[in-house]
Amino acid sequence: MSKAKTAFPGFSAPAVGFEAPLEMLAACHGRVESQCETLLRLLPHVAANGPDAAAREASQNVMRYFDTSARHHHADEEEDLFPTLLQAAPAAELAALRELVAALQAQHRELEQAWGKVRRMLDGIRLGTRRELDAAAVESLVGLYRSHIAREEAELLPLAARILGLAQLDRVGGAMRARRGIKEI
């Protein structure tokens, strides 16, 4: 993971289209990392400056990202990619794939729980009513995301690229697009 030095609220990963859903999921990982970096930069910033304008704006942007894009990302995997993979997997790989999917889904629940704790703190910063962030909670969330992303990039995405055909990838990409209310062009 890169240690980008950017101003609040972070930077965006390169844009990728829904016609390449696996690349889209990987690009989302880059954006998650950017938001995690913002969270880590917020720790000393808020400790030194309290809920100033930069901290409030960064908090709002991080909340917006995790409340929308990160949720879509989990749904893309759980509702579209995982079932498609399980259906397409060769019998010899099915048991291992089921274990991987179950582990990733369990991590999604853990991430959602950790995000809920951090989100409540960020909302207080955004509102100007909270003057500090719990470093352990932020660092835990960031560590969980980094571990999760590493596993998806090392195991899930290469497996999906190997197993899924163009028609299956088109269906996954179409479902991702529909989830976001984007019409096909």
CB 89 within 8 A of CB 97: yes
Residue 6 lies in a domain: no
Residue 51 lies in a domain: yes
CB 129 within 8 A of CB 122: no
Domain that holds residue 57: 21-179
Residue 145 lies in a domain: yes
Domain count, the chain: 1
CB 89 within 8 A of CB 163: yes
pTM for the full model?
A: 0.87
Q: What's 150's domain CATH number?
A: 1.20.120.520
**CA-to-CA separations, 4 to 49, 74, 141, 182, 185, in angstroms, rounded:** 21, 24, 18, 30, 34
Residue 132 lies in a domain: yes
Residue 7 lies in a domain: no
Residue 15 lies in a domain: no
Both tokens of 125, joined, read 């910063």
* C-alpha closest to that of 76 among 113, 12, 28, 34: 28
Residue 5 lies in a domain: no
- Per residue of the chain (185 residues), what is the pLDDT tens digit? 333 332 333 334 444 577 889 999 999 999 999 999 999 999 999 999 999 999 999 999 999 999 999 999 999 999 999 999 999 999 999 999 999 999 999 999 999 999 999 999 999 999 999 999 999 999 999 999 999 999 999 999 999 999 999 999 999 999 999 998 888 66
Cα 121 from Cα 81, distance rounded (Å): 32
